Every structure is written in structure tokens, then in C-alpha cells.
């Protein structure tokens, strides 16, 4: 096995290798780096493995006065990487693509990501792992030794073992892809795999780009919240401890306001009839009768604001870019939605005070676009309910149009209360809401809530039918799909009624939420190509929203391209229901 690879350290053999590789259909692709963040370290090795040879390129020997990105000797390599062919097979290709993008200055074209393929095949099974070693063991039945992964890739002379490890990782990729392709084909997952693979580079770039955050504005806001929090905390402390002292001979005990157990004890002393939980929706009904409850809710909101979105948030701003570079997991949820962490940029509070701190730097603009009611449009498409679809075609305001139909009045006669009911119904159905929950949410009695739900589903009979069917199929087929073919398996105990119920609600929601994710991902990959040649860079995406930063001079052009990308992506999946994208140019994220 020794010497199965070729180590490349100079221009001429690199050119020859790339010449050979450019004739391949598929190559394995991997990188070894000295750090995890491209801006923090060096890209040491880049491995490409074709049908004839496995090449290990030592980029240290191409370093000079100029950065690697400007070294023309690497042009042949850039060409192979950028091209759609050969296909580059990598595990967690986002990682390698970020390093190549940052250090070599090129996108990677024609990506096949074995990690994403494995995630698609496992279809939401939570206990499956998707590291390279796990995936290779599962699909190839071979052991992969990862012990050199964390070795010193900075050393002047790499050991034979290190280079062999690097070569091996790339060399197994094409065989692994073959196994995965077979399973993707059998499971009907080829289209969604293509969609995911095309999204890797846009996301890699988005993470490198980062989202500009004005730290000073953020800090000023945090200071205000702090003052309020301290004020509210002492008031609340007073209210709660006056009750505690009566029961406590040893004097006033400070209550830990962040401890649900201590807080619920204190509230009980005050006579608040708490049941099992002190969560906001449980406490809300008592806020009028017990001032301490209202005060507690006020305190919680401020405390949450300071813990999750306080000073510590500023530590995520990179000193060298002034920007936030969150991690995005491309298949963060089984539905195909992204998840985001360090920090989670998808859960920034909606209040203007926070959102306005996310800005375009001087001389630039943000172009912000989101889909209007995308999940309800998807439900309309799936159910083919003509009245429901009609609300999108005719109505100026969707919830008003729904209210008019459900309560059988003209749109002009719809009361604010009716519209509010309609809105909550529309959102609720997507999650498989039941009467009791709807009652709790609206203050209706169970009977009234049942009536209202019945009314809604009588207005939209096909919608009701589709949702019931979705739940039924989850039980019989134990599987559900989105429009792109993305799959979710259901595993539950047939005799456990609540588990069957949960699976049913899941089956109602999965195709809707998942198709929405399909559409967004298509939009991102179309957009990424469409923005070439403009000043636009994608800086964030939140489920049905995409944010692009660009120069003032071509903001209008970018807005047009963003809108067009999102619309055409949605139209690939929605044939009967119109698509609506709202887009605008702004200086910050608040507007």
C-alpha cells in the first residue's frame, strides 16, 4: 500500500497531475489544515484521487511572498477544482470548500458531499452518526483510522503516516460515493441530493462572508436592558421575599430569580395556583390577579435578552472582519431546514433594537427578501383546495381572505378579531393543531374551538382531506416525502396513542416545512450563480428569507436577481399556486 499516492511539491508535476485529473469524471477530494477556521490557519495538503492516481499536493511548497491565492502556478489546480467535471467527492465538503475558497480564491464546482448523502439516506433517524469513519463503516464496511486527523499539519516535514492518511481519505471517496449513489437511487433521493450538493458552495461562501454587526450600537442597547433588568429584579425580589419571610424564621432569603423551582415555591406562597410549570403561557392567566406574576414575566424577558443576546454576543464578532460568522448545518433538521449556531443567527429577536445592529457596512446596502406565506402556499399546492388557493389569487391580505371565507362575510366586513382567528388557524394547521391547543391559544372554550376548526375545514375540505391522509400514511407507510423527494422515516410504537398522534402531526408538518426548505435551497444555489459579476454576497438566510449585502451602485440589480432566483426556485415546486417574494433595499436588518 505504501507509495500508492504521489506527493506533489512543484509546478511541473502539479500541471501534469491536473492535466490527468481534468480528464476524470469523478475524483475524491480532501484537505488537511492547521486549524478549523480558514482565517486562522494554513491549508497544508490538498488531495485529489482519480481512477489512475491519488495526488497529495503539499501547498507549503507553493508558498512564497504572495498569498497562495495569487500564485499562478496553482492555476491548473484552480481550474480542476472550479470545473463542474470532474465531480469532487468530499465528506462535509463545506469544510474543504471554505479552505479552498479562502486560500486558493476559487469556488469548488461539481461537489458531491458524502455526509449530506448519508444524512438524506438515514431520513431523520436520530441515532445515526455521519462522521466519515461512521459512514465508511456503514456503507463500505471498512475501518477508517482518523488518528492523524489532529496531528501537526504545520510541521516542515510531514511523516509518511500523515501523508498516507491524507491520501487514503481522498482515495476512498469515489468508492463511497458509488455505494451512496446506489442507495440514493433506490430510495428515490437523487433529486434532493443534487439540490443539497449544489447548495454547499453558497453556504461555504456565506459563512466566510459573515454578517456585519455594529458592536457599539449593540452594546448601547444592552446597557439599557441591563438597567431595566436590575430595576425589575429588585422589585420582583421584594414582592417574592415578603411572602417568603413570613414562612422563614431565619430572615429574608434571596430568591434565585432564574431558578424555576425557587420561583414556583415563592409564587405558591403568594397563593398563585401554579400547576406543573412556571412557563410564560402557564403564568399569563394569573398576571392580572397577581402583580408578581406580571413582574416575573417582565424579568424573564429581560434576563433572556441579556443572557442570549447580551454582551457575550459580541464575542462572536471576528476582530479581523468585524463580522459574525455563524456555523450553518445544511441538514440541521430532518425537514431539511438549516440550523445555525455559534451564534444561532436564526433566532435574533425581532425587535428593531437588535435587528438594526445588523447592518450594511459604509457605502454598502442590504437587500432583504422573503417568501410571503410560503408554507401555506405549499399546503395549498399539495391539497389542491380551490377555495384555499383562491385566497392567494384574489386576496390582498391572505388572512383577511381566509376570514371572509371561514366566517362567510365580505372581505371589507372582516373584523380584526376574525382576521386574528383566521391567522392563528392558518398557522396552526401547518403544525396539526388540535381543538384544545387552539382553545388555550385563543381563550375559546373547547366546544367553541372545535366549532371554529370544523368551520375552517368545512370551508377547505380538500385541505382537511390532505392533512388527514398525511397523518394516516405516516402510520401505514411510516414514511413521508417533500416535493424534492426528501424522506423522513417514522419510528414509533403502534400501541402508544400519544406517539401515534405525534407521528401524525409530524407527517402533516414534514412535507410542508421540508418543501419550504427544498425551495430555499434551490433559491440559494440559483442565486449564488446569478450573483457572479455583481458586488452581491449572501450574508444570511433564515428559513424563508435571504439577505444579500452589496454595493450601493448595483443594489437594484441585486434586488432583481435575488427576487428572480427565489421566484424561479419556488415555481419549480409550485405549479398551481402563485409565488410571492417581498424584497427591499435597506441599510440594516430592521426594516
Partner DNA sequence: GTGAAGGGCCAC
Partner DNA sequence: AAACGTGGCCCTTCAC
Q: Compare residues 301 and 585 and give the one whose CB is closer to DNA.
A: 301
Query: What residues pair up with 8 in beta bridges, in sequence order?
Result: 57
Within 8 A by CB and 6+ apart from 530, the residues are: 561, 564, 565
Q: Which of 427, 465, 492, 534 binds DNA (CB under 7 A)?
A: 427
261 binds DNA per the rule CB under 7 A:
yes
Q: Which of 258, 289, 352, 477 binds DNA (CB under 7 A)?
A: 258
Return d(Cα 128, Cα 13) in angstroms, integer.
41
Q: Which of 20, 545, 560, 572 binds DNA (CB under 7 A)?
A: 545
Burial of 337 (0-12, 13-18, 19+ CB in 10 A): buried
Q: How far is the CB of 437 from DNA (least distance, A)?
A: 3
Strands, E, within 372-509: which ranges? 479-481, 487-489
Q: How far is the CB of 582 from DNA (least distance, A)?
A: 13
308 binds DNA per the rule CB under 7 A:
yes
Q: How far is the CB of 419 from DNA (least distance, A)?
A: 16
3-state DSSP call for residue 369?
strand
Q: Compare residues 64 and 273 and give the one whose CB is closer to DNA.
A: 273
Q: Contact region for DNA (CB under 7 A) — 138-146, 178-186, 241-249, 502-510? A: 502-510
Residue 327: closest CA among 217, 211, 215 = 211
Set of cell numbers at residue 344: 444561532
Burial string for 235-248 (b: 16+ CB within 10 Å, else e) reads ebbebbbebbeeee
Return d(Cα 197, Cα 329) in angstroms, integer.
13
441 binds DNA per the rule CB under 7 A:
yes
Q: Which of 82, 138, 290, 431 binds DNA (CB under 7 A)?
A: 431
**What binding mask, one character per residue, do residues 333-362 give for DNA by CB under 7 A, x or -?**
xxx-x-xxxxxx-xxxxxx-----------
Q: Compare residues 109 and 428 and give the one whose CB is closer to DNA.
A: 428
Q: Compare residues 118 and 513 and give the one whose CB is closer to DNA.
A: 513
225 binds DNA per the rule CB under 7 A:
no
Q: How far is the CB of 334 from DNA (least distance, A)?
A: 5
CA angle 163, 167, 168 (to 5 degrees): 115
Residue 463: closest CA among 504, 505, 430 = 430
Q: Which of 497, 532, 533, 575 binds DNA (CB under 7 A)?
A: 497
DSSP 588: B
544 binds DNA per the rule CB under 7 A:
yes
Q: Contact region for DNA (CB under 7 A) — 30-38, 42-50, 113-121, 296-304? A: 296-304
Question: E strand or H helix at 212, and its extent?
Answer: strand 211-212
Is residue 558 within 8 Å of 535, Cβ to Cβ? Answer: yes
437 binds DNA per the rule CB under 7 A:
yes
Residue 569: closest CA among 559, 581, 584, 557 = 581
Q: How far is the CB of 338 from DNA (least distance, A)?
A: 9
Return d(Cα 101, Cα 54) in angstroms, integer.
22
**What binding mask, one character per residue, do residues 511-530 give for DNA by CB under 7 A, x or -?**
--x-----------------
Set of cell numbers at residue 17: 497531475
Q: How far is the CB of 279 from DNA (least distance, A)?
A: 4
| Cis amide prior to 67 (ω within 30 degrees) | no
462 binds DNA per the rule CB under 7 A:
no
Q: What are phi and psi of 499, to 5 degrees?
A: -70, -40
Q: Compare residues 31 and 449 and give the one whose CB is closer to DNA.
A: 449
372 binds DNA per the rule CB under 7 A:
no
Which residue is it, cell 495538503? 45
CB atoms within 10 A of CB 532: 9
280 binds DNA per the rule CB under 7 A:
yes
**What binding mask, one character per residue, do residues 375-414 give for DNA by CB under 7 A, x or -?**
----------------------------------------
Q: How far is the CB of 58 from DNA (least distance, A)?
A: 35
Q: How many binding residues for DNA (CB under 7 A)?
A: 60
Q: What are phi and psi of 575, to 5 degrees?
A: -100, -30
Set of cell numbers at residue 145: 483510522
Which residues contact DNA by CB under 7 A?
Answer: 256, 258-262, 264, 277-282, 297, 300-301, 304, 307-308, 312, 329, 332-335, 337, 339-344, 346-351, 424, 427-428, 431-434, 436-437, 441, 497-498, 501-502, 505-506, 509, 513, 542-545
Amino acid at each position: 500500500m505504501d507509495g500508492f499516492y504521489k506527493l506533489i511539491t512543484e509546478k511541473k508535476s502539479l500541471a501534469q497531475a491536473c492535466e490527468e485529473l481534468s480528464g476524470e469524471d469523478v475524483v475524491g477530494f480532501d484537505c488537511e489544515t492547521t486549524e478549523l477556521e480558514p482565517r486562522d490557519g494554513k491549508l497544508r495538503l490538498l488531495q485529489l484521487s482519480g481512477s489512475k492516481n491519488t495526488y497529495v499536493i503539499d501547498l507549503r511548497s507553493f508558498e512564497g511572498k504572495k498569498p497562495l491565492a495569487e500564485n499562478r502556478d496553482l492555476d491548473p489546480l484552480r481550474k480542476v477544482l472550479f470545473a463542474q467535471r470532474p465531480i469532487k467527492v468530499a465528506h462535509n465538503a463545506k469544510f474543504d470548500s471554505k479552505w479552498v475558497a479562502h486560500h486558493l480564491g476559487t469556488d469548488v464546482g461539481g461537489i458531491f458531499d458524502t455526509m449530506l448523502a448519508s444524512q438524506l439516506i438515514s431520513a431523520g433517524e436520530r441515532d445515526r452518526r455521519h462522521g466519515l469513519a461512521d459512514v465508511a463503516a456503514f456503507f463500505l464496511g471498512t475501518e477508517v483510522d482518523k488518528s492523524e486527523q489532529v496531528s501537526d499539519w504545520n510541521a516542515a516535514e510531514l511523516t509518511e503516516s500523515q501523508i498516507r492518511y491524507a491520501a487514503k481519505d481522498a482515495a476512498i471517496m469515489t468508492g463511497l460515493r458509488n455505494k451512496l449513489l446506489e442507495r440514493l437511487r433506490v430510495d428515490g433521493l437523487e433529486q434532493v441530493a443534487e439540490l443539497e450538493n449544489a447548495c454547499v458552495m453558497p453556504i461555504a461562501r456565506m459563512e466566510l462572508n459573515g454578517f456585519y454587526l455594529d458592536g457599539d450600537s449593540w452594546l448601547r442597547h444592552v446597557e439599557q436592558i441591563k438597567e431595566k433588568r436590575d430595576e425589575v429584579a429588585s422589585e420582583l425580589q421584594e414582592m417574592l421575599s415578603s411572602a417568603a419571610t413570613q414562612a422563614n424564621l431565619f430572615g429574608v432569603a434571596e430568591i434565585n430569580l432564574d431558578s424555576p423551582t425557587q420561583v414556583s415555591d415563592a409564587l405558591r406562597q403568594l397563593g398563585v395556583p401554579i400547576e406543573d410549570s412556571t412557563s410564560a403561557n402557564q403564568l399569563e392567566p394569573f398576571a392580572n390577579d397577581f402583580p408578581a406574576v406580571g413582574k416575573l414575566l417582565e424579568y424573564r424577558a429581560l434576563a433572556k435578552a441579556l443572557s442570549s443576546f447580551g454582551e457575550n454576543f459580541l464575542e462572536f464578532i471576528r476582530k479581523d472582519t468585524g463580522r459574525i460568522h455563524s456555523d450553518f448545518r445544511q441538514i440541521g433538521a430532518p425537514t431539511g431546514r438549516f440550523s445555525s449556531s455559534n451564534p444561532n443567527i436564526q433566532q435574533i429577536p425581532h425587535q428593531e433594537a437588535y435587528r438594526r445592529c445588523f447592518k450594511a457596512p459604509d457605502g454598502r446596502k442590504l437587500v432583504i427578501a422573503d417568501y410571503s406565506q410560503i408554507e401555506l402556499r405549499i399546503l395549498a399546492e399539495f391539497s389542491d383546495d380551490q377555495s384555499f388557493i383562491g385566497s392567494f389569487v384574489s386576496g390582498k391580505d391572505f388572512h383577511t381572505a381566509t376570514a371572509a371565507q371561514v366566517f362567510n362575510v365580505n372581505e371589507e366586513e372582516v373584523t380584526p378579531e376574525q382576521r386574528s382567528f383566521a391567522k392563528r388557524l392558518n398557522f396552526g394547521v401547518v403544525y396539526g393543531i388540535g381543538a384544545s391547543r387552539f382553545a388555550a391559544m385563543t381563550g375559546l372554550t373547547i366546544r367553541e374551538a372545535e366549532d371554529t376548526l370544523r368551520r375552517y375545514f368545512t370551508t377547505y375540505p380538500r385541505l382537511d382531506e390532505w392533512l388527514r391522509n398525511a397523518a394516516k400514511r405516516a402510520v401505514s407507510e411510516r414514511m413521508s416525502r417533500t416535493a424534492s423527494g426528501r424522506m423522513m422515516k417514522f419510528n414509533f410504537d403502534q400501541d402508544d396513542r400519544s406517539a401515534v398522534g405525534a407521528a401524525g402531526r409530524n407527517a402533516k408538518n414534514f412535507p410542508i416545512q421540508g418543501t419550504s426548505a427544498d425551495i430555499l435551497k434551490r433559491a440559494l444555489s440559483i442565486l449564488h450563480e446569478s450573483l457572479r459579476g455583481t458586488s452581491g454576497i449572501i450574508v444570511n438566510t433564515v428559513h424563508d428569507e435571504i439577505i444579500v449585502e452589496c454595493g450601493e451602485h448595483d443594489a437594484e440589480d441585486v434586488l432583481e436577481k435575488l427576487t428572480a432566483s427565489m421566484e424561479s426556485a419556488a415555481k419549480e415546486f409550485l405549479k398551481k399556486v402563485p409565488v410571492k417574494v417581498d424584497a427591499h433595499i435597506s441599510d440594516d436588518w430592521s426594516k
